[in-house]
Amino acid sequence: MLMTLRSYLFVPATRIERIVKAHASGAGAVIVDLEDAVALQDKDAARASLKQWLKSAEALPVYVRINAADTAWYQQDCELCASSKVMGIVVPKAEDPLQLMHLHQQLNSKSLLPLIETALGFHQALSVARVPGVERLMFGSIDFKKDLGISGEDDALLFFRSQLVLVSKLAGLQAPVDGVTTAIEDMAPVLQDAKRAVSLGFGAKLCIHPKQIATVEQAFLPSAYDIAWAQRVLNAAAQSMGAAVALDGQMIDKPVIEHAHSILARAKV
């Protein structure tokens, strides 16, 4: 069973020296970015640098965000991802289930993390989520807002975020990954965004700076109160030997027990 990650930290492929520091930041996983973080004129050099690093003795497991399928860099990015050090591929502007299926087969069944960041990608989200090899969906909220002409954040994206949680559940995937928060000095917006993501059913968040990691990781962990409650529920259920039982005035039935199990599962590091 895959470990559920709570944070994914982007590192530009132009700054390979930051990968080791990114791993040391406490991030659940590191994504080396060949797409948005790399200028057009630097694409080939960035890929070559990452390719060399993946062959080195210091190479650590990473995810790689490749360039989109309709770009000139896509095929060579995909070939790079055949490295054993690449845990999976973050696919930008994921819209086409057949393209994702082909990519999965081309790379010997490596994990895929499709970024839903266009109107078409959102429309196709369930089909995308059901492609073999898809590990979980990611919400590219900034590009998504740009594509749809949305200027707001909370209520403006509520429907779309909730739908991605629903789609992930229907497809049997882990809870989706929310988009980035651009603040890197003030952690209040990061915490606010992470808590909103938790409340909507997201399981993790994309990060753009190591300073964000501790805040995000903590936000996605259950509180000490929730953990204690879950343990009490499971203890009471075990002691009842299958008989009906109440705790704090609430009947403990199967959904309550399953919720308690999910809290303790989330609490595991």
145 plus 263 within the same structural domain: no
Domain boundary (201, 219, 237) is at: 219
12 plus 139 within the same structural domain: yes
User: What is the pLDDT at residue 1?
Assistant: 39
189 plus 239 within the same structural domain: no
96-112: buried (b, 16+ CB within 10 Å) or exposed (e) per residue? bbebbbebbeebeebbb
Question: Which pLDDT band holds residue 14 (cuts at 50, 70, 90)?
Answer: very high
89 plus 127 within the same structural domain: yes
238 plus 119 within the same structural domain: no
Per-residue pLDDT tens digits for 44-86: 999 999 999 999 978 899 999 999 999 999 999 999 999 999 9
Crossing angle between the packed helical segments 154-170 and 141-148, to the nearest 10 degrees: 110
Rg (CA), the chain: 20
- Share the mean pLDDT of the chain: 93
201 plus 262 within the same structural domain: no
User: What is the pLDDT at residue 62?
Assistant: 96
Number of domains in the chain: 2
Kindly report whether the global pTM for this prediction surpasses the value 0.85.
yes
pLDDT over threshold 70, residue 145? yes
Share of the chain above pLDDT 70, in %: 99
251 plus 140 within the same structural domain: no
253 plus 132 within the same structural domain: no
CATH number at residue 34: 3.20.20.60
The answer to the question of residue 1 being in a domain is: no
236 plus 210 within the same structural domain: no
Mean pLDDT, residues 118-147 taken together: 97
pLDDT over threshold 50, residue 251? yes
Mean pLDDT, residues 127-136 taken together: 97
208 plus 228 within the same structural domain: no
The answer to the question of residue 109 being in a domain is: yes
Question: Which pLDDT band holds residue 3 (cuts at 50, 70, 90)?
Answer: low
Mean pLDDT, residues 76-103 taken together: 96
Domain that holds residue 231: 224-267
111 plus 176 within the same structural domain: yes
The answer to the question of residue 2 being in a domain is: no
pLDDT over threshold 80, residue 242? no
158 plus 236 within the same structural domain: no
